[in-house]
Amino acid sequence: MNIDELYQTIILDHYREKHHSGLREPYDAEVHHVNPSCGDELTLRVALDGDTVRDVSYEGVGCSISQASTSVMTDLVIGRGVEDAMGLYDDFLEMMHSKGEIAPDEDRFEDAIAFAGVSKFPARVKCALLSWSALRDAVNQTSTKDS
Ligand code: ZN
């Protein structure tokens, strides 16, 4: 199996069996994000426990990349510190805008390495980033609420 096939398999596995899907309560913030260029839609809820991401739940429609990316993102951030999760988003963003130039760090990104392949296709980058920008938006809303 070559690397592109591996990436495709990871994405299809998450698309077929999405992790942590569904909307759950309680939650601290809910956002709705759309990616008009592809038609992807995502409602995402985040629940924090102090500085830790306790849960991310969601309901989405759209292409396999946007759906799989949401599933992978929840695997990565649930149970992680908020600041650490946002740092991971920054690194993911950098990789996605690198047009395939930045090789993903497998220990850090886990299944999100699969989107390194997507970064070569600018039209699909927004699909892969939809869930992450929704997460950041939701996290930002919780901090405004507290202050
Ligand atoms: Zn899409």
pTM of the model: 0.95
Q: How many angstroms is it from 147 CA to the middle of ligand 1?
A: 35
What pLDDT shows up at residue 145?
59
What pLDDT shows up at residue 141?
96
CA angle 88, 144, 85 (to 5 degrees): 10
- As given in the structure block, the two tokens for residue 129 are 């980033």
Q: How many angstroms is it from 145 CA to the middle of ligand 1?
A: 31
Q: How many angstroms is it from 44 CA to the middle of ligand 1?
A: 16
Mean pLDDT by 10 residues, the chain (147 residues): 92 98 98 97 97 98 98 98 97 93 91 94 95 98 71
What pLDDT shows up at residue 1?
78
Q: How many angstroms is it from 93 CA to the middle of ligand 1?
A: 16
